[in-house]
């Protein structure tokens, strides 16, 4: 339990939550009760109904999805989760000294001018600098699906956070497990690592470096995602749909029985015919009592059929998640 | 909370004094009343251009032309496609000419043919020497230069990406722009996005991107790249607002999308459904491919002992064509949809 420092209401907060959003007055605050001002959101453009129909219409085109999916699927859970992200702008400048590889070439090949028989690598000192501005995006909660985490922040105008807007959709606004200080520290570390990668493209060994890393503007943004669960047949399927854009971040989906049976059945028949053709073609090599048949054609056609058969069987048997490419 | 938030969302236009609603991160702001464009500190940004846009009907026409071109044997595609979303949005874009010069050094390897001799023993037990060709590694030092002068464009929004963005940016051309004039587009009711990336930041970012491209190009033909120094010169940086539209459409109950250049109304990238009939047809192509490759293989096999060159060549050709047909055919069978450029 936590108590809002601004409206005195009591509200739920988990053990790891350090930046809290009061569900009554919407104020973002630290556990000590300091107000946090740079708190933004992206507005919802797809309500629950639109998100659900968009999901089903999109999922029904996936390979092997049953045709009656959009009419038969029943949503058993629909929750709008507001995920917190920390966005930092980091200006970094790295001056470095190090050793880079180079080589000398000896003993030219007479057959091919310009090519040498021997190469001797050596190290030579190199120095330089990289100045880059990094934009670093850190999820504020640890329990977050990788696909939701890496989904780009939608191309929609940011606005100051409004709790009333989240409430319209019964949205659940997650508290951040990271304080602004921790987020800034992580952003600094990530920027430092990116600079290191840049330097390592130029030199193989870094002998000395001087980093000037300035973590600038850092803000918290809440992004709404519809977390949906629907039932088709006896099974339940999970999906995440971006509430600002309607993109399907990821979705599990059913495959129809006829698709599975067709895939496995036809795949198996093709695999067997293919294997048979290969055996006939290699009869002599394998020491079988009957003569080799269709030695050239059987090998090629047989291998093709076996490969396609295996692919079809895999498609029939596997279950998959689908993601919409952005 | 609500009223406080709105107050902080306002920007006072330095030209007409109008109150403009802005996002918290906007650094280049276009006044929604007079159209003048300034930085968030009220400084002018020089030329502010835009591409004009076509209306929703013309975008639909361009979209239908795209479907018609890519319909294949699916004759009902244009009629059956039902557009469910077609909204115009003006996106902020920085563009400039970037001249880049790189000097790089590295090496690559080649195979050098070397004539060698060896001693062989024939069936009668006599030894004799014969020459043969072996290949040995040669190291080729490479020292070269890269010079480019390209048009570069960047979406001026932080961390933002949308469907068809790269293809869309390719179509943005300074020649197509006119001075920004809100009057010309306001009837289309576009959503206007302001820039979150300022000029200085853009120029830094574009330097980094061009330098990275050069490095990738330099290292592509090499075994190892020792050194690559790039200097860039960014000039003629211009801010412009360009129209884009994402069309979502339904076909036989399924949802597809296409990215539209709002200036020409043409599709830059879009998804095309594959019907059951098309899947069956392509599967047949695949099956014919299997038979053809088999016939080719048999032809080849019978041609080798009699050394009939014509037969061997025909056999190889048929086998290769058959294999390609097989994979192309069965690939369509298991694809979700096609993606086509406009």
B116-131: average pLDDT: 83
Closest C-alpha among A51, A77, A80, A57 to residue A69: A57
Q: Distance from A154 to chain B by nearest Cα, in Å?
A: 6
CA A37 to chain centre: 30
Q: Quick: pLDDT tens for A88-101.
A: 889 999 999 999 99
List the beta bridge partners of residue B29: B38
Chain B hits for A154, CB-CB cut-off 8 Å, are 160
- Is the Cβ pair A152, B160 closer than 8 Å? yes
* DSSP per-residue string spanning A165-204: HHHHTT-EEPPBSS-HHHHHHHHHHHHHHHHHHHHHHH-S
Q: Which residue of A has its CA nearest to B209?
A: A132
Is there a single domain that holds both residue B217 and residue B257?
A: yes
Is there a single domain that holds both residue B212 and residue B301?
A: no
Per domain, the residue ranges of chain A are 38-94+131-254, 258-320
B279 in contact with A, Cβ within 8 Å: no
Closest C-alpha among B225, B244, B308, B219 to residue B54: B244
**Cα(A91)–Cα(A200) distance, integer angstroms:** 19
The answer to which of A81-85, B192-196, B310-314 has the lowest mean pLDDT is B192-196
pLDDT at residue A156 in the model: 65
Most confident of A34-48, A139-153, A232-246, B33-47: A232-246
CB burial of residue A25 (10 Å; 0-12, 13-18, 19+): middle
**Cα(A248)–Cα(A300) distance, integer angstroms:** 41
pLDDT at residue B261 in the model: 94
What the block records as the tokens of B98 is: 């970037």
Q: Distance from B251 to chain A by nearest Cα, in Å?
A: 10
Closest C-alpha among B243, B304, B209, B272 to residue B87: B243
Name the DSSP class of B64: H
**Angle, CA of B273, A316 and B281, to the nearest 5°:** 40
Q: Which B residues, 82 through 101, put their C-beta within 8 Å of a C-beta on chain A? A: 91
How many other C-beta atoms can be found within 10 angstroms of the C-beta atom of residue B62? 21
At residue B3, does pLDDT exceed 50? no
Chain B hits for A57, CB-CB cut-off 8 Å, are 250, 253-255
Is there a single domain that holds both residue B165 and residue B191?
A: yes
Chain B hits for A101, CB-CB cut-off 8 Å, are 224, 226
ipTM of the complex: 0.77
pLDDT at residue B273 in the model: 94
Asked if residues A60 and A173 have their Cβ atoms less than 8 Å apart, the reply is: no
Q: Which residue of B has its CA nearest to A120?
A: B139
Closest C-alpha among B60, B49, B71 to residue B262: B60
At residue B168, does pLDDT exceed 50? yes
**Which of B9, B161, B215 minimises the CB distance to A201?**
B215
Q: Which residue has the tokens 């006829």?
A: A258
At residue A238, does pLDDT exceed 80? yes
Asked if residues A162 and A26 have their Cβ atoms less than 8 Å apart, the reply is: yes
At residue B79, does pLDDT exceed 60? yes
Is there a single domain that holds both residue B124 and residue B243?
A: no
Is there a single domain that holds both residue B87 and residue B107?
A: no
pTM of the model: 0.80
Q: Which residues contact B81 (CB under 8 A, 6 or more apart)?
A: B64, B67, B249, B250, B251
Q: Give the three-class secondary structure for B208.
A: helix
Is there a single domain that holds both residue B4 and residue B41?
A: yes
The reply to whether B182 falls in a domain is no
Closest C-alpha among A157, A156, A98 to residue A128: A98
- Is the Cβ pair A26, B1 closer than 8 Å? yes
Is there a single domain that holds both residue B234 and residue B95?
A: yes
pLDDT at residue B95 in the model: 93
- Percent of chain B past pLDDT 70, that is, above it, reads 96
- Is the Cβ pair B286, A308 closer than 8 Å? yes
Is there a single domain that holds both residue B116 and residue B217?
A: no
Is there a single domain that holds both residue B291 and residue B266?
A: no
**Cα(A296)–Cα(B303) distance, integer angstroms:** 10
The reply to whether B124 falls in a domain is yes
Q: Which residues contact A322 (CB under 8 A, 6 or more apart)?
A: A59, A62, A248, A250, A251, A253, B336
The answer to which of A74-78, A115-119, B6-10, B160-164 has the lowest mean pLDDT is B6-10
Q: Who wins on pLDDT, A188 or A157?
A: A188
The answer to which of A68-77, A132-141, A178-187, B181-190 has the lowest mean pLDDT is B181-190
Chain B hits for A26, CB-CB cut-off 8 Å, are 1
For B250, phi and psi rounded to 5 degrees?
-105, 140
Is there a single domain that holds both residue B222 and residue B324?
A: no
What the block records as the tokens of A242 is: 């971006």
Q: Give the three-class secondary structure for B62.
A: helix
**Cα(A5)–Cα(A178) distance, integer angstroms:** 19
Is there a single domain that holds both residue B5 and residue B130?
A: no
Asked if residues B147 and B104 have their Cβ atoms less than 8 Å apart, the reply is: no
Mean residue pLDDT of chain B comes to 87
The answer to which of A112-116, A216-220, B157-161 has the lowest mean pLDDT is B157-161
Q: Distance from B301 to chain A by nearest Cα, in Å?
A: 5
- Is the Cβ pair A157, B226 closer than 8 Å? no
At residue A155, does pLDDT exceed 70? no
How many other C-beta atoms can be found within 10 angstroms of the C-beta atom of residue B255? 25
Q: Which residue has the tokens 């930046």?
A: A19
Name the residue range of residue B21's domain: 1-45
pLDDT at residue B328 in the model: 93
The answer to which of A167-181, A189-203, B3-17 has the lowest mean pLDDT is B3-17
At residue A2, does pLDDT exceed 60? yes
Asked if residues A228 and A78 have their Cβ atoms less than 8 Å apart, the reply is: yes
Q: Quick: pLDDT tens for B265-287.
A: 999 999 999 998 999 999 999 99
Asked if residues B78 and B180 have their Cβ atoms less than 8 Å apart, the reply is: no
pLDDT at residue A59 in the model: 92
Best residue of A301, A303, A310 to probe chain B, by most B CBs closer than 10 Å: A301
B42 in contact with A, Cβ within 8 Å: no
Q: Which B residues, 160 through 199, put their C-beta within 8 Å of a C-beta on chain A? A: 160-163, 193-194
- Is the Cβ pair B158, A131 closer than 8 Å? no
Q: Distance from A306 to chain B by nearest Cα, in Å?
A: 11
* DSSP per-residue string spanning A30-99: ETT--B---EEEE---S-HHHHHHHHHHHHTTSTT--TTHHHH-EEEEEEEEEEEEEEEEEEEEEEEEEE
**Which of A103, A296, A312 minimises the CB distance to B302?**
A296
pLDDT at residue B5 in the model: 38
At residue B7, does pLDDT exceed 80? no
The reply to whether B236 falls in a domain is yes
At residue B6, does pLDDT exceed 90? no
The reply to whether B7 falls in a domain is yes
At residue B67, does pLDDT exceed 90? yes
Question: Domains in chain B: how many in total?
Answer: 4
**Cα(A25)–Cα(B1) distance, integer angstroms:** 8
Is there a single domain that holds both residue B68 and residue B199?
A: yes
B204-211: average pLDDT: 89
The reply to whether B11 falls in a domain is yes
Separation in Å, CA B169 to CA A107, A193, A200? 50, 30, 31
**Cα(A265)–Cα(A274) distance, integer angstroms:** 14
Asked if residues B57 and B260 have their Cβ atoms less than 8 Å apart, the reply is: no
B324 in contact with A, Cβ within 8 Å: no
At residue B1, does pLDDT exceed 60? no
Name the pLDDT band for B68 (thresholds 50, 70, 90).
very high
Q: Who wins on pLDDT, B37 or A264?
A: A264
Name the pLDDT band for A134 (thresholds 50, 70, 90).
confident
**Cα(A186)–Cα(A312) distance, integer angstroms:** 46
At residue A154, does pLDDT exceed 80? no
Q: Distance from A193 to chain B by nearest Cα, in Å?
A: 17
Name the DSSP class of A146: H
The reply to whether B311 falls in a domain is yes
Q: Give the three-class secondary structure for B206.
A: helix
**Which of B24, B114, B297 minimises the CB distance to A297?**
B297
**Which of B25, B155, B159 minimises the CB distance to A137?**
B159
**Cα(B130)–Cα(A185) distance, integer angstroms:** 71
pLDDT at residue B145 in the model: 95
Chain B hits for A301, CB-CB cut-off 8 Å, are 290-291, 293-294, 297
* DSSP per-residue string spanning B306-326: HT-HHHHHHHHHHHHHHHHHH
Separation in Å, CA A4 to CA A20, A29, A177, B106? 9, 8, 17, 62
């Amino acid at each position: 339990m936590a108590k809002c420092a601004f409206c005195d209401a009591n509200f739920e907060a988990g053990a790891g939550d350090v930046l809290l959003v009061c569900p009554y007055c919407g104020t973002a605050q630290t556990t000590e009760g300091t107000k946090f001002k740079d708190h933004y959101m992206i507005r919802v453009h797809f309500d629950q109904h639109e998100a659900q129909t968009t999901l089903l219409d999109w999922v029904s085109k996936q390979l092997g999805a049953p045709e009656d999916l959009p009419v038969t699927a029943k949503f058993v859970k629909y929750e709008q989760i507001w995920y917190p992200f920390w966005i930092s702008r980091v200006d970094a400048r790295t001056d470095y000294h190090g050793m880079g590889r180079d080589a000398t070439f000896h003993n030219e090949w007479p057959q091919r001018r310009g090519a040498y028989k021997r190469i001797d690598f050596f190290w030579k000192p190199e120095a330089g600098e990289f100045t880059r501005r990094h934009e670093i995006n850190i999820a504020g909660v640890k329990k977050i699906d990788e696909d939701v985490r890496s989904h780009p922040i939608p191309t929609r105008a940011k606005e100051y956070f409004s709790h009333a807007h989240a409430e319209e959709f019964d949205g659940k606004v997650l508290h951040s497990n990271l304080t602004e200080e921790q987020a800034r520290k992580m952003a600094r570390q990530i920027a430092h690592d990116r600079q290191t990668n840049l330097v390592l493209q130029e030199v193989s060994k870094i002998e000395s470096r001087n980093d000037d890393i300035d973590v600038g503007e850092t803000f918290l943004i809440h992004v709404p995602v519809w977390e949906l669960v629907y039932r088709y047949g006896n099974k339940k399927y999970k999906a995440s749909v971006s509430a600002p854009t309607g993109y399907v971040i990821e979705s599990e989906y059913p495959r129809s029985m006829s698709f599975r049976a067709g895939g496995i059945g036809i795949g198996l028949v093709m695999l067997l015919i293919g294997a048979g053709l290969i055996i006939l073609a290699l009869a002599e090599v394998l020491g079988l009592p009957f003569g080799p048949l269709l030695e050239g054609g059987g090998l090629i056609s047989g291998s093709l059929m076996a490969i396609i058969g295996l692919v079809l069987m895999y498609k029939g048997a596997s279950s998959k998640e689908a993601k919409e490419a952005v | 909370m609500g009223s406080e938030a709105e107050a902080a969302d306002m920007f006072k236009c330095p030209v007409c004094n109008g109150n403009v609603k802005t996002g918290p991160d906007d650094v280049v702001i276009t006044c929604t009343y007079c159209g003048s464009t300034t930085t968030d500190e009220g400084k002018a940004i020089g030329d502010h251009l835009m591409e004009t846009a076509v209306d929703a009907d013309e975008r639909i026409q361009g979209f239908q032309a795209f479907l018609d071109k890519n319909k294949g044997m699916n004759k009902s595609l244009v009629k059956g496609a039902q557009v469910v979303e077609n909204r115009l949005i003006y996106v902020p874009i920085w563009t400039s000419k970037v001249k880049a010069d790189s000097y790089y050094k590295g090496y690559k390897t080649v195979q050098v043919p070397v004539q060698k001799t060896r001693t062989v023993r024939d069936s009668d037990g006599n030894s004799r020497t014969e020459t043969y060709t072996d290949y040995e590694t040669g190291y080729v030092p490479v020292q070269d230069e890269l010079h480019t002068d390209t048009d570069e464009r960047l979406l001026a929004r932080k961390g933002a990406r949308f469907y068809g963005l790269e293809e869309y940016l390719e179509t943005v051309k300074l020649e197509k722009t006119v001075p920004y004039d809100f009057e010309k587009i306001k009837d289309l009711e576009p959503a206007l996005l302001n820039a979150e990336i300022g000029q200085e930041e853009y120029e830094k970012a574009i330097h980094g991107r061009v330098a990275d491209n050069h490095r990738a190009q330099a290292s592509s033909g090499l075994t190892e790249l020792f050194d690559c120094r790039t200097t860039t010169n960014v000039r003629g940086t211009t801010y412009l607002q360009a129209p884009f539209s994402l069309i979502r459409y339904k076909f036989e109950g399924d949802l597809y999308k296409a990215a539209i250049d709002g200036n020409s109304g043409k599709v830059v990238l879009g998804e095309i459904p594959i019907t059951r009939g098309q899947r069956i047809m392509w599967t047949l192509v695949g099956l014919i491919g299997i038979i053809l490759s088999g016939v080719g293989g048999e032809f080849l096999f019978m041609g080798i002992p009699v050394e009939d060159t014509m037969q061997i060549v025909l056999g190889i050709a048929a086998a290769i064509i058959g294999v390609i047909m097989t994979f192309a055919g069965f690939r369509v069978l298991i694809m979700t949809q096609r993606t086509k450029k406009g």
